[in-house]
Chain A
Amino acid sequence: MQRYIAKRLVLLAPVLFVVSALVFALMRLIPGDPAQVLLGFENTDPEQLAAVRRDLGLDRPITVQFVRWLGRLVRGDLGTSARTGRPIVALLAEALPFTLELAVYGLVLAVLIAIPMGTLAGTTTSRLADAGMQTLTLLGLSLPAFWVGSLFILLFSVHLRWFPVLSFPALWRAPAANLWGFFLPALTLAIPNAAAIARMVRASMIAVRREEYVKVARAKGLTEFLVVRRHMLKNALIPVVTLIGIIAGYLLGGSIVVEQVFAIPGVGRMGLQAIVQRDYPVLQAVVLLVTFIFVLINLLVDLLYVFLDPRIRYA
């Protein structure tokens, strides 16, 4: 088991390298010059442009730029933002808590909504209830986050005044206010994912419904609740956990829209701004971080299988 974890962690390095190299090359392939973005519309002096390009190291061949960047990275230096001059580590330290909290909160809400809904839909004998669930999940999957988010703000913040629009205090300082302030963005993020998970739970439940061990459990005279909870759900959850793992990774990237709508200064918005303004070092750092977390979550999911199904072993 430990060897397996070690092997997976070692494999992380080449993944990060390839992703970094790809992003490095892609960013430089698309048109637009970070130096000109820095100078804006006021300045077209070619000498100044050349000077800014020199400052940013953009006058060197791309391979030299990449090696330099890697060299600094190995020493733990992510560099400074081309646009603001602030150290990227500090920018990430500001932004990451918002995004992590949003992702975790969103995932928890998604699971809390999806598992009961999916279980109900997968075990009910009422066709109407099942069709209702299916319709709801289809809606949840189809509604775009920017629209749902705006609607939530209008309804719950402007008209009903239940939730604040812009209140995101630190979790450790004001836990209640924080969870309250983050509820609408987290819910917006949760809805499409809850729908996807619920559909998966329903399908898995239907699949295990006919398994022998379920029949045995029923024959033993267990209550329906215990049959579902102990025997069906636990076995149905394996594919669901895989899906949740993938979703957890995507939540980090998927929060871009939600961060934009709810004005949350998180990593998603940081990455988006970096693309718009061609802030190469910031984008590199954001992609690296998101990739790292994504791979890490996938590893965690693989380990989680062992606990859900003792038949799975890693050598």
Chain B
Amino acid sequence: MRRVVVVLVCLTVALMFAWGGVQAQGQTPQRGGTLRVGITQEILNLDPHVATAFSSFQVLDLVYEGLLRLNPRTLDIEPWLAQSWSVSPDGLEYTITLRRDVTFHDGSALDATDVKYTIDRILNPATRSPQASFLAPVKEVTIVNPFVVKITLRQPSASFLSVLAGRGRWIVPLEFEDKVGDPRVKTLGTGSFQLAEFSAGSVRLVRHERYWRKDDQGNRLPYADAAVYRVIPDPATLRAALRAGELDLIIGFGVDITAARALSGVAELRVMTVSDLAYSLLGIQTERPPFSDLRVRQALSLAVDRAQLIQVVYSGRATAGGPIPPTVAAWGPIPATRLPNYRPNPARSRELLAQAGHPRGVSIKMMPIATVPEAVQIAQVLKEQLAAGGFTVEIEQVDFATFLARWRGSQFDTFVSLNGGDIDPDVHLYRHIHSTGSTNVFKFKDPALDQLLDQARVTPDPARRRQMYAQVQQAIAERVPFLFLAYADLFAVSRTAVQGFVLSSTRSMAPLAETWLSR
């Protein structure tokens, strides 16, 4: 009898352990379900090489893939559709070997002709691709064999791998335009999801059944059956829909520190955060008075108290960074506190203004961008701060299209905006600061900085490049083409049932392939 009891007790204990094991296995990914993502901006154009809106990228991240990718956590460059690559010693030839198990959504297999077609399409002026400037160094693409392509450059490009890993350099199949008809509304990629429905207020993606990636247990990705993006322009409604259980994840412009604060502490929700690569900036028209005088630009920089700005606008959830994002440690970002002209000194600011012939200070206009919610707040804080440094600021609120027109025409004294960042310092800085840069709307010209940027661009050795960018950072802070203000924290809020999503500094949505819903 006693023996029976002992056996029974042992069995019970064993069962309990087994049950515990099953419970723990609840953490293994479950297949199925629909991931409902809330975003605040309209999804406009789905052409992978033409789209520029962040909302479009949020969809395209799941539909298309590049040869390489940035690891969403570490931001390292990793092989993706390309299995491996090699670079010739002179830095001019990139030989890329493709994976053999990748298929497009229509079932056709990826091969070298698709890669050549993609790069040719981006470079074709008729495509009007904003990505063309990134691929400008490409001289030609040759097909070595069905799974190997060779990309030859006109001159060495130290940032070329990171260009291949970036958004917008996504691979499409040969004869893409003929196959899809209108690529602005139809898609055909290799990504984990494919487009099922596209309307003004929502986009529905369904699982790509023959997606090439598998998880560690050998299960084919993605886990979810479908992903739906809902456009909810009002941030308060966005938060409410998440709380009411009608969304699983909210991310993007409406999800800032206000949302994170309002939703942290709600039982069934989880707040995720990471430091952004994008930065807020105070743009300056450096070609005309008063900012054509370097002393006035330095005075402007000295009058700004970034720490206070971050406290007031971002509730402390941002980093006062300089020209290189603080998250990209590999390139030696210099903290703002150690850069010239980045420590607040309003007295020195007034002195410089007086030296520049403005003993009574100067009056300037400041134009915040309408689509970035915190831009107006930044302008208001700057207005107060700059007053102490001798600047009288008039804030000009204009709508988005007007801002864009004036930005492009360099018709401003100063503006407040948000610039997208990049892990490669060349991509991050060159186009804004080099005198021939494609988005140098500041009209900034500095031969010494031009030369430094040009040299760093063609220097393949990372250690030497790093030294050069240390000089670049110092020079930018001294010459003041514009003011780097803050790298804010990014936020996303999900329901606790959402597992496996990684919020990346790049804002990529690609990790939704490994995201699953626990039920």
Q: In this complex, what residue of A is CB-closest to B202? A: A265
Is there an interface contact between B404 and A37, defined as CB atoms closer than 8 Å? Answer: yes
Interface members, chain A 271-299 (any B CB < 8 Å): 273, 276-278
The answer to the question of A22 belonging to the interface, with a C-beta cut-off of 8 Å to chain B, is: no
Highest count of chain B CB atoms <10 Å: which of A47, A94, A165: A165
Nearest B residue to A95 by beta-carbon distance? B200
A263–B438 touching, CB < 8 Å: no
Contacts of B184 in A (CB 8 A): 84-86
Q: How far is the CB of A100 from chain B (nearest CB, A)?
A: 16
* A172 CB-CB contact with B under 8 Å: no
The interface size of chain A toward B, counting residues with CB under 8 Å, comes to: 49
Interface residues of A in 10-48 (CB under 8 A from B): 30-34, 36-37, 39-45, 47-48
Question: CB distance A40 to B130 under 8 Å?
Answer: yes
0 or 1 for each of B384-417: is its CB under 8 Å from A? (1 = yes): 0000000000000011111011111000000000
B199 interface neighbour in A34, A44, A265, Cβ under 8 Å: A265
Residue in A37, A39, A42, A263 whose beta carbon sits within 8 Å of that of B234 in the complex: A263
Contact of B185 among A86, A153, A265 (CB under 8 A): A86
Residue of B45, B230, B237, B243 with most partner-chain A CB within 10 A: B237
Minimum C-beta distance from B48 to chain A (A): 14
Q: Interface with B: A60-68, A154-162, A243-251, which one?
A: A154-162
Interface residue B52 (Cβ < 8 Å from any Cβ of A)? yes
Given contacts A31-B402, A32-B402, A84-B44, contact A43 B234 (CB under 8 A): no
A44 and B408: CB pair below 8 A?
yes
Q: Is A206 part of the binding interface, using a Cβ–Cβ cutoff of 8 Å? A: no
**A83 lies within 8 A of chain B by Cβ:** yes
**Residues B45 and A166 in contact, CB atoms below 8 Å apart:** no
Determine whether A261 belongs to the interface, using a CB cutoff of 8 Å to chain B: yes
Give complex CA distance A269, B40 in Å.
13
Distance, CA A260 to CA B240, complexed state (A): 14
Complex contact A41–B407 (CB within 8 A): yes
Q: Are A164 and B441 closer than 8 Å at their CB atoms?
A: no
Against A, the Cβ 8 Å flags (1 = close, 0 = not) of B233-264 are: 11011101101101100000000000000000
Q: Which of B185, B233, B244, B404 contacts A36 (CB 8 A)?
A: B404
List B357-402 residues whose CB lies under 8 Å from chain A.
398-402
Contact call B53/A164, Cβ cutoff below 8 A:
no
Q: Which residues from B are CB-within-8-Å of A167?
A: 246
Which residues in chain B, 31-54, are within 8 Å of chain A measured between CB atoms? Answer: 42, 44-45, 52-53
CA distance A157 to B45 in the complex (A): 32
Beta-carbon contact of B439 and A44 below 8 Å: yes
- A176 within 8 A of partner (CB): no
Looking at the assembled complex, report how far the CB atom of A251 sits from the nearest CB atom of chain B, in whole angstroms.
Answer: 20
- Whether A84 pairs with B185 at a CB distance below 8 angstroms is yes
B408 touches A36 (CB 8 A): yes
Tell me, yes or no, whether B101 is within 8 Å of chain A by CB: no
- Supposing A32-B401, A84-B184 touch, asked if A165 and B240 sit within 8 A by C-beta, the answer is yes
In the complex, A94 Cα to B231 Cα: how many Å? 15
Interface status of B446 (Cβ within 8 A of chain A) = no
In the complex, what's the smallest C-beta–C-beta distance from B364 to chain A, in angstroms?
20
Complex: how many Å from CA A39 to CA B406? 14
| Residues of A close to B128: CB separation below 8 A | 39, 43, 48, 51-52
Partner of A31 from B182, B237, B405 at Cβ < 8 Å = B405
Given contacts A42-B130, A51-B128, contact A94 B240 (CB under 8 A): no
B316 at the interface (CB under 8 A from A): no
Point out the residue from A39, A91, A161 that lies within 8 Å of B244, measured CB to CB: A161
Which among A40, A47, A261 has the highest number of chain B CB atoms within 10 Å? A40
**B232 interface residue, CB < 8 Å from A?**
yes
Q: CB of B201 within 8 A of chain A?
A: yes
Q: How far is the CB of B192 from chain A (nearest CB, A)?
A: 24
Partner of B399, one of A154, A166, A273, A276: A276
With A85-B184, A95-B200 in contact, is A43–B232 under 8 Å at CB?
A: no
Given contacts A41-B439, A91-B200, A265-B199, are A32 and B243 in contact (CB under 8 A)? no
A270 within 8 Å of B (CB atoms)? yes
Min CB gap B43→A, angstroms: 9
Report the minimal beta-carbon distance from B132 to chain A, rounded to whole angstroms.
9
Known A-B contacts A83-B45, A165-B246, A276-B399; the reply to A153 vs B404 at CB < 8 A is no
CA distance A37 to B128 in the complex (A): 14
A279 to B376, CA, bound (A): 25
Query: For residue A152, which residue of chain B has the nearest CB?
Result: B240
The yes or no answer to A124 lying at the interface (CB within 8 A) is: no
C-alpha gap A273/B406 in the complex (Å): 20
| Cα(A276)–Cα(B403), bound, Å | 11
Contacts A83-B44, A278-B401 given; does A153 touch B236 at CB 8 Å? yes
Q: Which residue of A lies closest to B182 (CB)?
A: A85
What's the least CB distance linking B491 to chain A, in Å?
19
Q: Which residue of A lies closest to B53 (CB)?
A: A40
- Given contact pairs A43-B52, A84-B184, A270-B200, A277 touches B400 in the complex (Cβ within 8 A): yes
If A42-B439, A270-B200 touch, whether A32 touches B241 (CB-CB below 8 Å) is no
A69, B441: Cα distance in complex, Å: 34
User: Does A180 touch B at the CB level, under 8 Å?
Assistant: no
CA of A37 to CA of B407, assembled, Å? 11
Q: Is the CB–CB distance between A39 and B44 below 8 Å?
A: no
Q: Closest CB of chain B to A135's CB: distance in Å? A: 27
Contact of B233 among A44, A157, A269 (CB under 8 A): A269
- CB < 8 Å: which of A146, A154, A161, A263 contacts B231? A263
Contacting residues, chain A, for B130 (C-beta < 8 A): 39-40, 42-43
Query: Which residues on the A side are within 8 Å of B201 (C-beta)?
Result: 263-265
Asked whether any CB of chain B lies closer than 8 Å to the CB of A262, the reply is yes
CB pair A276–B406 under 8 Å, yes or no, is no
Say yes or no: A154 contacts B441, CB within 8 Å: no
> Which chain A residues border B399 with CB–CB below 8 Å?
32, 276
Residue A142 interfacial (CB < 8 Å): no
Known: A40-B130, A158-B244, A276-B399. A262 touches B45 (CB 8 A): no
If A32-B399, A157-B240, A263-B232 touch, whether A85 touches B45 (CB-CB below 8 Å) is yes
Minimum Cβ distance to chain A for residue B229 (Å)? 12
- Give the complex CA separation of A189 and B455 in angstroms: 61
B200–A263 CB distance below 8 A = no
For A165, the chain B residues whose CB sits under 8 A away are: 237, 240-241, 244, 246
With A265-B201, A276-B400 given, can you name 14 additional A-B contacts, CB distance below 8 Å? A31-B401, A36-B401, A37-B400, A42-B130, A44-B441, A45-B438, A83-B45, A153-B236, A158-B244, A166-B241, A263-B233, A263-B241, A265-B231, A269-B200
- Point out residues on B near A: beta carbons under 8 Å: 42, 44-45, 52-53, 125, 128, 130, 133, 182, 184-185, 199-202, 230-234, 236-238, 240-241, 243-244, 246-247, 398-402, 404-408, 420, 438-439, 441
Considering the complex of A and B, which 9 residue pairs feature the smallest CB-CB distances, nearest first?
Answer: A32-B401, A265-B201, A40-B52, A42-B130, A263-B232, A85-B184, A165-B241, A43-B130, A265-B200
Between A and B, 15 residue pairs with Cβ closer than 8 Å are: A31-B405, A37-B404, A40-B53, A42-B133, A44-B441, A45-B133, A85-B45, A94-B199, A150-B240, A158-B243, A164-B244, A166-B230, A166-B232, A263-B237, A270-B200
